[in-house]
Amino acid sequence: VSRDTLLGSAGYRLRAIAEDGVIYIILGVFVVLSGYPLVWLVFDSLKKQGEMYTNIWLWPQHPTLANYASAWSDAGIGQGTINSMVVTAASVAIVVVVGSLAGYSLARMKVAGGNLILSAILLTLMIRPMFTAVQLFRFTTSLGIIDTYPALILPYAATSLPLAVALFTSYFRSIPIELEDAARVDGATGVQVFFRIVVPLSGPVFAAVVIFAFLDAYNELFLALVLLKDPSLRTLPPTLAGIIGEYFKNYPQLFAGVSAASAPIILLFVLFRRRFISGLLAGALKS
Amino acid sequence: LARGTAKSYVGQQLRKPTGRRWLVGRFAALADAPGSQALRSFNRWAGGGVNRLSGWLLIAPAIILLLVFKVYPILATFPESLVASQGFGTPEHFVGLSNYLTLVRDSDFWRATANTVAFVVITTIGVNAFGFFLALLVSRRRLRFKGLFQTILFLPVVVSLTASAVLWGFLMDPYVGLVPPLLQYLHLAWLVPSTGFFGTPTSAMLTISAIAIWQAMGFFMVIYLSGLQTIDADLFDAAKVDGANSGQTLWRITLPLMRPFISIGVTLAIIGGFGVFDWIYILTGGGPAHATESLMTYMYFQAFTQFDQGYASAIIVAILVLTAIASYLQWRQRYVGTTAQ
């Protein structure tokens, strides 16, 4: 080996190390930018009001959960969490049941014009919840269901449904039909085939649908502002939006509210990261 | 085993809904059923793949839900935009295109439109550029802790827009916020507007765009990551062997192959951007004097503060038209782009 190539390869290696270093530094900056504000939010939510201004950046010296307690009871975060959970759970349940049945029908039963129906259903993805707010306000008022949970649950379900139907349909189509036929021949009814064969094989698509339907409902603000005026029924986003005005000076309490409201979804994300990302991605690429 | 084979043969026949064999298979299946007579007749009724009625029954709830809560509200918006009303539940009268004529002369509406378009342009470029850049970095073969990087970079996506608005509203506040002193410390004080981040309409809109980019770029990173995975690694190796530097590889191989994903990313950002509401509603409320209004916050103001639902409906129609135009322009550019190649 000549001296030149030796030096060359050493130079190459040095360049590679430098390049890696630069990349780690850039990524590090972005990681701090993305993650630190959220970490900081948790830090400050655990501080007493005075410490917020003396110990600005770091973990509190005397962490306290008092802010959470007061945010939970006084600022309505507790009631908001209950309301959000009820609305989100009901909406997710409707999306999963109605969506999977429709998807199974489109994938397996010979519904006339099935593909046309699927395209029409996908087209309703363009109709964002906000576009329907005025009319929803009108007819939930005339139906007398405004200021009740269903007024919010049903529009949320309708928002997540098109994508759910599309994902279920394409997933069910990918299951070998022989499995279902064999079960049917063994005497399984249509209902049994669906619950015993199709559903157990479709874990990933159910997870994906649950995740994006959960996000759709849990984080929605516009319709929640419009359709639930009664403060005791408010979900978390309008509750948080309302706190800013009322509790302007008590920042730690505000931060405790925000982090308590965000905790369930962050927990869900960290636990099911891959499912989460692939679920949202499937949604994005499908639409 | 023999039993199983025979069954799947019958099963295959079941899939063909015509002819005598189908009948034979049908009876074989029924005869095989262990359940009661009721179960059998239900089986006949709900037998998947054959019965059209049950297919319709299964899809009906989805169609009804969408018709009632999506299709009807959007269709009813058009006639609604032709009436004048003093509030929800009060009598309304037909005024023709009067709402639209008011709209065209409404400077607040044009201000909201300009703000929204500016927001769409800035955030579309921002989230796609940063998303693509981050995807390139995170997808490098030698990189360690990939999962960790992706998780943290994606974290802002799952937090609600309300939460991020509250958080950043505090962080960027001119009196108690942490960003102004931090920038001062980093000798970047020139980045802070003299009246604070929300002091003038322009700086407020720019700040809100930056918050939007912060929150959404992780999502676009994931889109581009999935795109980069579709590119055959051999292509990069071949380019390296041919002596291409990383810039050339990016320009000649990665970017052209990522075209469909860039198009998806741009479309999603445009559609998302036109709906911007949460951040503005919380951070500026559209004020002062409607200067930072977006189309959505202006619609909210007209519909639920002024209770002028006819006028709000006209704004919704305008938003639909604008989104359609933007999608068309983007589609045409993509179309021209592919034919020019």
Tokens of B58: 């299964």
* Residue numbers in B near A243 (CB within 8 A): 166
- A17-43 pLDDT per residue, tens: 888 888 889 889 999 888 888 888 888
| A251 interface with B at CB cutoff 8 Å | yes
Query: Do the chains contact at A102 and B158, CB–CB below 8 Å?
Result: no
Parts of chain B with a pLDDT under 50: 1-36, 47-50, 339-341
Chain A residue at shortest CA distance from B263: A285
With vertex at residue A210, the alpha carbon angle to CA A282 and CA B263, rounded to the nearest 5 degrees, is 20
Interchain CB contact of A107 with B (< 8 Å): no
CA distance to B9, B20, B30, B36, B54, per residue, from B24 (Å): 12, 6, 10, 20, 22
Whether the CB of B296 is below 8 Å from some CB of chain A: the reply is yes
Q: Rounded to a whole number, what is the distance in Å from the CA of B97 to chain A's nearest CA?
A: 19
> For every one of its 287 residues, what pLDDT tens digit does chain A have, with 9 covering 90 and above?
444 555 566 777 787 788 888 888 988 999 988 888 888 888 877 877 776 766 667 777 777 777 777 777 777 888 889 999 999 999 999 999 999 999 988 888 877 778 888 888 888 888 889 999 999 998 888 888 888 899 999 999 999 999 999 989 988 888 888 888 888 888 777 778 888 888 888 888 898 899 889 988 999 999 999 998 888 889 999 988 887 765 556 777 788 888 888 888 888 888 888 777 877 777 677 65
DSSP assignments along chain A, one per residue: --HHHHHHHHHHHHHHHHHHHHHHHHHHHHHHHHHHHHHHHHHHHTS-TTHHHHS-SS--SS--SHHHHHHHHTSSHHHHHHHHHHHHHHHHHHHHHHHHHHHHHHHHS--TTHHHHHHHHHHGGGS-GGGGHHHHHHHHHHHT-TTSHHHHHHHHHHHHHHHHHHHHHHHHHHS-HHHHHHHHHTT--HHHIIIIIIHHHTHHHHHHHHHHHHHHHHT--HHHHHH--SGGG--HHHHHHHHHHHTTT-HHHHHHHHHHHHHHHHHHHHHTHHHHHHHHHHHHHH-
The residues, any chain, with a CB within 8 Å of residue A240's CB and separated by 6 or more, are A80, A257, A258, A261, B160, B162, B163, B166
Interface-testing mutation among B14, B152, B245, with chain A (most A C-beta atoms within 10 A) = B152
Q: What are phi and psi of B187, to 5 degrees?
A: 60, 35
Chain A residues in contact with B179 (beta carbon < 8 A)? none
The full 3-state SS of chain B, as one line of letters, equals CHHHHHHHHHHHHHHCCCCHHHHHHHHHHHHHCCCCHHHHHHHHHHCCCCCHHHHHHHHHHHHHHHHHHHHHHHHHHHHHCCEEECCCCCCEEECCCHHHHHHHCCHHHHHHHHHHHHHHHHHHHHHHHHHHHHHHHHCCCCCCCHHHHHHHHHHHHHCCHHHHHHHHHHHCCCCCCCHHHHHHHCCCHHHCCCCCCCCCHHHHHHHHHHHHHHHHHHHHHHHHHHHHHCCCHHHHHHHHHCCCCHHHHHHHHHHHHHHHHHHHHHHHHHHHHHCCCHHHHHHCCCCCCCCCCCHHHHHHHHHHCCCCHHHHHHHHHHHHHHHHHHHHHHHHHHHHHHHHC
Chain B segment 225-284 residues within 8 A of A by beta carbon are 226, 264, 268, 271, 275, 277-278, 281-282
Which residue from A minimizes the CA distance to B246?
A: A19
pLDDT > 70: percent of chain A: 91
Enumerate residues 6+ apart whose C-beta is below 8 A from A259: A41, A42, A45
What amino acid is encoded at B37 in this protein? Q
Contacts of B49 in chain A (CB under 8 A): 108-110, 177, 180-181
A155-179 pLDDT tens trace: 999 999 999 999 899 888 888 888 8
Asked whether this complex has an ipTM greater than 0.90, the answer is no
Whether the CB-CB separation of A96 and A213 falls below 8 Å is answered with yes
Residue A136, amino acid: L
